[in-house]
Every structure is written in structure tokens, then in C-alpha cells.
């Protein structure tokens, strides 16, 4: 996250930020001092942070991003639409390629559906692009929704993985519900 922030500078003081797939809290710890006391960060994961992070501007929710009320609960906790959506969500891998790719695809689709509900017009996205059959189509769709966009593979990214991150700035919320 540190490297992604250094190259993109999307996080700033006073922002509302949501971190989708936040466990065990590494990204929350990077974002917290940057958004500061005037900002608010909501971290969401299937798993609870144990022990909880002692950061005054961070609230965490144990929640399945695919659940029907996920957007509503997140917006309520944030107090309004996010300036920045961070997403490092990834499934627990089984080792069975077809199963894992289907799970990765389901997460990317979930994030795509949540995006217009959570992100304010003009806001920014940093999201992990998982390798799956739909990844290219989803990346293309995301590219069309942001004024400035790039895909990057940070040096800190695990060696031997296909991990890439999409950075989009200036969200166009034209299809937002």
C-alpha cells in the first residue's frame, strides 16, 4: 500500500476511505495517519481483526462484501460516500485452478457492483486485479469509469504472483444508482 500511495498520492488528509478486504489490517495502518483525525476509514472483511486496531479514525465491519446489505452498512459506517475505495480482497485459494478463478471472478464482480454505490463522483480507486477469465473485461470497464487510470505491479508484490493493481482517479458515476 505504501508504494501504491507513493506513486498515486490518492490518500489525503480528511478523506472518507473504505478498505474492502482489510484483514489483517496492513493497509488500514498505512491509510490511518494519512487521512488523520479529520478523516474516517471503514475496513471490511469476513474475518475480525484480532486484536482490534487501536486507531481512532478506523472502524471495522465483519461483513461479506457480497451480501445484499453490504453497501448500505458501509455507507452508514462511513457517514457518506467514499472519497477513496481501497480493495485488496482475495478469496481463500483451494489449489484447484478452475474453482479459484471462479472465486476471484466473483470478487471482482462484487467490487464492480459496489463501486458506484460506495464511491463519490470524482473519487479514486486502488484495487487488486485478480487473474481470472473476466479480469480483462472488468479492467476495461473500470478504465472507462475513471478520468486517469493505470495498472501497476508494485515491487513489494509477492514474487511469482500475477498480482496487479488498478489505480483510477476521477470516478464518473454516470451509472450510479
**Active site residue ranges:** 128
The answer to the question of residue 21 lying near ligand SAM (CB under 6 A) is: yes
Cβ neighbours, 10 Å, residue 161: 10
The answer to the question of residue 53 lying near ligand SAM (CB under 6 A) is: no
Work out which of 3, 57, 71, 91 binds ligand SAM, going by CB under 6 A.
Answer: 91
Looking at the Cβ atoms of 159 and 174, the one nearer to ligand SAM is 159
Give the three-state DSSP class for 150.
Answer: strand
Least distance (Å) from ligand SAM to the CB of residue 17?
13
The answer to the question of residue 154 lying near ligand SAM (CB under 6 A) is: no
Compute, in degrees rounded to 10, the torsion defined by CA atoms 100, 105, 108, 110: -100
C-alpha cell at position 169: 482517479
> CA–CA separation, 177 vs 172, rounded Å?
13
Question: Residue 41 burial (CB < 10 Å; 0-12/13-18/19+)?
Answer: buried
The answer to the question of residue 66 lying near ligand SAM (CB under 6 A) is: yes
The answer to the question of residue 167 lying near ligand SAM (CB under 6 A) is: no
Give the burial string for 109-140 (b: 16+ CB within 10 Å, else e): ebbbebbbbbbbeebbbbbbbbebebbeebbe
Work out which of 10, 107, 108, 130 binds ligand SAM, going by CB under 6 A.
Answer: 107
Looking at the Cβ atoms of 91 and 154, the one nearer to ligand SAM is 91
Cβ neighbours, 10 Å, residue 3: 14
Least distance (Å) from ligand SAM to the CB of residue 160?
15
Q: Candidates 33-41, 82-90, 112-120, 159-167 — which segment interacts with ligand SAM by CB under 6 A?
A: 82-90
The footprint of ligand SAM (CB under 6 A) covers 21-27, 44-47, 64-66, 88-91, 107
Amino acid at each position: 500500500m505504501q508504494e501504491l500511495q507513493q506513486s498515486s498520492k490518492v490518500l489525503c488528509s480528511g478523506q472518507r476511505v473504505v478498505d474492502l478486504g482489510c484483514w489483517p489490517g496492513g493497509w488500514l495502518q498505512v491509510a490511518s495517519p494519512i487521512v488523520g483525525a479529520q478523516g474516517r476509514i471503514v475496513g471490511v472483511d469476513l474475518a475480525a481483526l484480532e486484536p482490534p486496531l487501536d486507531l481512532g479514525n478506523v472502524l471495522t465491519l465483519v461483513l461479506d462484501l457480497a451480501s445484499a446489505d453490504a453497501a448500505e452498512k458501509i455507507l452508514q459506517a462511513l457517514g457518506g460516500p467514499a472519497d477513496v475505495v481501497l480493495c485488496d480482497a482475495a478469496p481463500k485459494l483451494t489449489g484447484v485452478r478452475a474453482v479459484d478463478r471462479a472465486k476471484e471472478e466473483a470478487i471482482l464482480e462484487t467490487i464492480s457492483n459496489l463501486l458506484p454505490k460506495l464511491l463519490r463522483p470524482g473519487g479514486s480507486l486502488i484495487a487488486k486485479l485478480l487473474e481470472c477469465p473476466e479480469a480483462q473485461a472488468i479492467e476495461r470497464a473500470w478504465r472507462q469509469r475513471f478520468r486517469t487510470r493505470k495498472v501497476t505491479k508494485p515491487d513489494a508484490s509477492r514474487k511469482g504472483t500475477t498480482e496487479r493493481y488498478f489505480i483510477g482517479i476521477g470516478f464518473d458515476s454516470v451509472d450510479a444508482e
